[in-house]
């Protein structure tokens, strides 16, 4: 049957067809929908959210050793977190086939950096495939599982945003009925102590040699002969762009299996063509390896190694082609940055935080990063998952050493706290730190589109489960000063900051209110009640002071002519933050 699928949905379909029985992930754009779709194959595949990517990969490694075909998925920075087990898995190999999806984000649509994870395949010495559309995304999962089992090696499945979130037609197939392989205890394979790993390392080099032979012969790396004046080597979505621009005026060596590269096939192709171009998105992963063996080619000398590639860039760089566009003045179009939603529980918290002086706010990864944007501006840093607490700790130490009157406040979401924030908080307590940690619990993993997490009460496949209580965790770590607040109650938040700033020692403020976009479950209803509604401004009372506008709520409109504020009822969720800020009580909630 033909279906129109995103690359992410196609990977999930591929996992189903390949007979995968266990899969784990931590959500992250652009990878998230893979595991959400895998979860729909309930009964055939056990799909889980792990608290972080390292745990996800370790879980699938364990299942692979026990004989299952497995899949782990994550965004590219998640592979950094999971890199420790990845390197081990390369040495030990697999039992059931193991595929690790790395979803890279060229152009930084939704990421903190633009790393090219193809280098991980070379670094960790694992096999790699790179699909260029949805059909390949499905087919290559089946191929990768087969390669993994045949060559006893994990396969890195490298995708990019446009492959993940691009939709195209997919011919689907049936699920392979494969039994689970038997588990065989084998210390010489799975006990990575130095004496064993030395041998495994030598074995891995042998595997890579055999994989290069495979790379030279597999149809995953194919040549499309057309005019031989120009030859193009490309992989992933970059191949589609090259095809778009050059059509049949060039010949192509399209690489689907990219570690190890098919050097014999590349040499043969290079000999046949006139000019050889390597068209790659991001880094010169292929080009560098061609240069190393003396194959002349043009790549990054013309095509930038940063930003998302487009057919336009390829056409300009290699063909000097500039296509006409409509000329107009676009310099004065106001920007449209993402904002905290109307009714977002983070708004009240960040509004109060923005009023504090002599503080450094170390932020973290999630919607609450938007608390650092205009007009709230309550953020100094944002690095990697969990970094807010440890970076805040380090900064506090340096401020103390220098006798500076500065406190650090770390802001971290519930899911990010479970991810790696816990470790950092242990460091704070263990090393007698003096930071204020704010855990912003909105009862869901928000930014990536509402995934369950260890604090939400449900598993990915909808099983009710134990709620890991953040307060109990924090207590168990040894934090003695804990306050729980409603982040939409400004007085409560203000008092909590006053309280924490007075304490000489580590403290934790837990804000607890559901994401306004969250589909509330029974427990939410019980705890938070029916609070949604609309606020409105009594225009005759509004003095036009714009205090409410400083909360940055997108439902508030200031009319320059009338000098009055109006609330857009279609957006307002009735959170009442503006109502508390208004100095003349001109705002009320409808029905109260």
Partner 1 sequence: MAEVKNILLVGVGGQGTILVGKILSSGLMRAGYDVKMSEVHGMAQRGGSVSNQVRYGTKVYSPIIDKGQADILVAFETMEALRWLDYLNPNGKAVVNDYRIPSAPILMGKNDYPEGILSIIQGKVDTTVIKAGEIAKKLGNSRTMNIVLFGALVKGMNLTDINWEQVITSIVKAGTEDINVEAFRAGLK
* Total Cβ atoms within 10 A of residue 224: 13
What is the β-pairing status of strands 257-259 and 127-129? antiparallel
246 vs 285 by CB, closer to partner 1: 246
Q: SS3 string of 360-393?
A: EEECCCCHHHHHHCCCCCCCCECCCCCHHHHHHH
CB of 244 to partner 1, least distance (A): 4
CB of 192 to partner 1, least distance (A): 36
Q: Which residue has the tokens 């969250």?
A: 518
Residue 447 preceded by cis peptide, ω within 30: no
Task: Please state the separation of Cα 171 from the chain's center in Å.
Answer: 28
Contacts of 198 (CB under 8 A, 6+ apart): none
* Total Cβ atoms within 10 A of residue 185: 8
CB of 104 to partner 1, least distance (A): 13
**Contact positions toward partner 1, by CB under 8 A?**
2, 4, 29-30, 32-33, 109-110, 133, 162, 165-169, 237, 240-241, 243-244, 247, 310-312, 323-326, 328, 330, 332-341, 367, 370, 373-375, 447-449, 546, 549, 552, 554, 556-558, 560, 570
362 vs 382 by CB, closer to partner 1: 382
Contacts of 393 (CB under 8 A, 6+ apart): 408, 410, 424, 427, 428, 431, 433, 435
CB of 124 to partner 1, least distance (A): 26
243 vs 265 by CB, closer to partner 1: 243
CB of 327 to partner 1, least distance (A): 8
Q: What CA–CA distance (Å, rounded) separates 529 from 525? A: 5
Tell me the backbone φ, ψ of residue 389, rounded to 5 degrees. Answer: -75, -45
CB of 487 to partner 1, least distance (A): 17
CB of 311 to partner 1, least distance (A): 5
User: What are the tokens at 542?
Assistant: 């509004």
Beta-ladder partners of 412? 439
248 vs 423 by CB, closer to partner 1: 248
Contacts of 345 (CB under 8 A, 6+ apart): 440, 442, 487, 488, 511, 513, 514, 515, 516, 575
CB of 272 to partner 1, least distance (A): 23
| 8 Å CB contact between 577 and 376 | no
41 vs 252 by CB, closer to partner 1: 252
229 vs 449 by CB, closer to partner 1: 449
105 vs 152 by CB, closer to partner 1: 105
CB of 123 to partner 1, least distance (A): 26
106 vs 260 by CB, closer to partner 1: 106
201 vs 546 by CB, closer to partner 1: 546
Phi-psi region of 482 (alpha: psi -120 to 50; beta: other; left: phi over 0): beta
- Burial, 584: exposed, middle or buried (Cβ in 10 Å; 0-12, 13-18, 19+)? exposed
User: What are the tokens at 482?
Assistant: 């804990």
CB of 423 to partner 1, least distance (A): 25
- Burial, 225: exposed, middle or buried (Cβ in 10 Å; 0-12, 13-18, 19+)? middle
* Total Cβ atoms within 10 A of residue 512: 20
Q: Which residue has the tokens 């019980």?
A: 526
CB of 341 to partner 1, least distance (A): 6
CB of 344 to partner 1, least distance (A): 9
294 vs 324 by CB, closer to partner 1: 324
288 vs 312 by CB, closer to partner 1: 312
CB of 72 to partner 1, least distance (A): 20
Tell me the backbone φ, ψ of residue 353, rounded to 5 degrees. Answer: -60, -35
| 8 Å CB contact between 412 and 440 | yes
The span from the first CA to the last CA of the chain, in angstroms, equals 55
| 8 Å CB contact between 557 and 567 | yes
189 vs 243 by CB, closer to partner 1: 243
Beta-ladder partners of 439? 412, 510
Q: What CA–CA distance (Å, rounded) separates 456 from 447? A: 15
156 vs 238 by CB, closer to partner 1: 238
318 vs 341 by CB, closer to partner 1: 341
Q: Where are the beta strands (DSSP E) in 256-303?
A: 257-259, 275-279
118 vs 243 by CB, closer to partner 1: 243
CB of 342 to partner 1, least distance (A): 9
Q: Can you tell me whether residue 424 is helix, strand or coil?
A: helix
CB of 99 to partner 1, least distance (A): 22
């Amino acid at each position: 049957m033909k279906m129109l699928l995103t690359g992410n949905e196609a990977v999930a379909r591929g996992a189903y067809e390949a007979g995968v029985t266990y899969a784990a992930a931590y959500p992250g754009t652009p990878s998230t929908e893979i595991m959400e779709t895998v979860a729909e194959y309930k009964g055939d595949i056990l799909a889980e959210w792990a608290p972080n990517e390292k745990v996800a990969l370790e879980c699938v490694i364990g299942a692979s050793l026990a004989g299952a075909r497995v899949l782990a998925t994550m965004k590219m920075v998640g592979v950094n977190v999971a890199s420790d087990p990845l390197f081990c898995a390369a040495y030990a190999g697999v039992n059931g086939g193991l595929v690790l999806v790395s979803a890279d984000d060229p152009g930084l649509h939704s990421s903190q950096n633009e790393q090219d994870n193809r280098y991980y395949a070379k670094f960790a010495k694992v096999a790699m495939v790179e699909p260029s559309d949805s059909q390949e995304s499905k087919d290559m999962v089946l191929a990768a599982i087969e390669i993994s089992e045949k060559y006893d090696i994990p396969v890195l499945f490298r995708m990019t945003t446009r492959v993940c979130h691009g939709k195209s037609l997919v011919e689907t197939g049936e699920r392979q009925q494969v039994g689970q392989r038997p588990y065989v205890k084998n210390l010489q394979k799975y006990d990575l102590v130095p004496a064993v790993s030395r041998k495994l390392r030598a074995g891995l080099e042998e595997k890579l040699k055999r994989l290069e032979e495979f790379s030279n012969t597999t149809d995953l790396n194919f040549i499309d002969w057309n005019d031989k004046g120009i030859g193009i080597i490309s992989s992933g979505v970059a191949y589609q762009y090259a095809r778009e621009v050059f059509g049949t005026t060039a010949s192509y060596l399209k690489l689907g299996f990219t570690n190890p590269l098919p050097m014999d096939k590349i040499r043969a192709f290079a000999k046949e063509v006139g000019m050889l171009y390597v068209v790659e998105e991001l880094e010169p992963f292929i080009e560098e390896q061609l240069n190393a063996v003396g194959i002349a080619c043009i790549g990054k000398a013309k095509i930038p190694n940063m930003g998302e590639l487009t057919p336009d860039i390829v056409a300009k760089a290699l063909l000097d082609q500039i296509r006409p566009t409509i000329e107009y003045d676009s310099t004065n179009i106001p920007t449209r940055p993402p904002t905290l939603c109307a009714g977002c529980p983070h708004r009240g918290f960040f509004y109060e935080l923005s009023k504090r002086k002599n503080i450094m706010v170390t932020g973290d990864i999630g919607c609450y990063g938007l608390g650092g944007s205009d007009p709230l501006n309550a953020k100094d840093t944002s690095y990697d998952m969990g970094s807010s607490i440890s970076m805040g700790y380090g900064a506090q130490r340096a401020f103390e050493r220098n006798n500076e009157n500065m406190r650090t406040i770390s802001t971290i979401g519930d899911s990010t706290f479970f991810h790696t924030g816990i470790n950092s908080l242990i460091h704070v307590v263990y090393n007698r730190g003096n930071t204020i940690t704010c855990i912003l619990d909105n009862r869901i993993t928000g930014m990536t589109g509402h995934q369950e997490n260890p604090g939400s009460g449900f598993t990915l496949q909808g099983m009710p489960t134990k709620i890991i209580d953040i307060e109990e965790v924090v207590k168990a770590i040894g934090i003695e000063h804990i306050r729980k607040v409603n982040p939409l109650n400004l007085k409560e938040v203000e008092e909590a900051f006053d309280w924490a700033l007075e304490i000489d020692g580590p403290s934790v403020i837990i804000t607890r209110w559901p994401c306004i976009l969250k589909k509330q479950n029974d427990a939410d209803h019980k705890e938070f009640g029916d609070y949604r509604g609309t606020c409105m401004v009594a225009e005759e009372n509004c003095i036009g002071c714009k205090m409410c506008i400083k909360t940055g709520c997108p439902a508030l409109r200031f009319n320059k002519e009338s000098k009055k504020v109006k609330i857009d009822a279609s957006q307002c969720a009735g959170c009442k933050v503006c109502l508390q800020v208004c100095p003349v009580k001109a705002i009320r909630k409808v029905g109260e």
